[in-house]
């Protein structure tokens, strides 16, 4: 698993650099928490079908912006009568994490977080999701 994470971060570093000489940013400090998060938004037809956790890797720029978010693993479980593979969940998580903000820093760093998505009961309010979204800090890793 460590090798897979290192490979993902290597690929992130390559995509971030405008030139081929860009170095892989160092890992962020442990306990780093976002100053602003955005919950994943799913199309109405997808609400409450799956619950699970997606592990998202990305680089935090010196200005605190998330760059090149990528899902390195995901475990989605069907809820209720749902079956098959989830559609749109990974994309919703990536789009949301791309909008997160972190404190300013001296240099870019690489980071990863698990994003938990728990389906709840169906809401009577049209267009609103009662899904529970939790950005969870990693324990012991950066």
Q: Tokens for 31?
A: 């306990």
Q: Are 51 and 57 in contact (CB under 8 A)?
A: no
| pTM check: above 0.75 | no
Query: According to DSSP H, which parts of the chain are helical?
Result: 2-16, 89-97
**What is the pLDDT at residue 125?**
26
**What is the pLDDT at residue 21?**
47
Position with higher pLDDT, 125 vs 102: 102
**What is the pLDDT at residue 47?**
55
What are the pLDDT digits (tens) for 12-36? 555 545 444 467 899 998 889 999 9
Q: What is the mean pLDDT of the chain?
A: 76
Average pLDDT for 94-115: 95
What are the pLDDT digits (tens) for 62-92? 999 999 999 999 999 888 777 777 888 899 9
78 vs 17: CA distance, rounded Å: 38
Q: Are 77 and 52 in contact (CB under 8 A)?
A: yes
Position with higher pLDDT, 11 vs 77: 77
């Amino acid at each position: 698993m460590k090798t897979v994470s290192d490979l993902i971060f290597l690929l992130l570093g390559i995509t971030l650099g405008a030139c081929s000489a860009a170095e892989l940013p160092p890992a962020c400090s442990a306990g780093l928490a976002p100053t602003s998060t955005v919950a994943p938004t799913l199309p109405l037809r997808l609400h409450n079908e799956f619950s699970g956790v997606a592990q998202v890797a990305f680089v935090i720029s010196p200005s605190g912006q998330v760059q090149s978010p990528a899902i390195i693993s995901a475990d989605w479980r069907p809820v209720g009568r749902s079956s098959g593979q989830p559609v749109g969940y990974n994309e919703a998580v990536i789009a949301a994490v791309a909008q997160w903000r972190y404190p300013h820093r001296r240099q870019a760093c690489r980071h990863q977080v698990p994003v938990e998505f728990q389906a709840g009961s169906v809401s009577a309010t049209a267009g609103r999701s009662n899904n529970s979204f939790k950005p969870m800090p990693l324990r012991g890793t950066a």
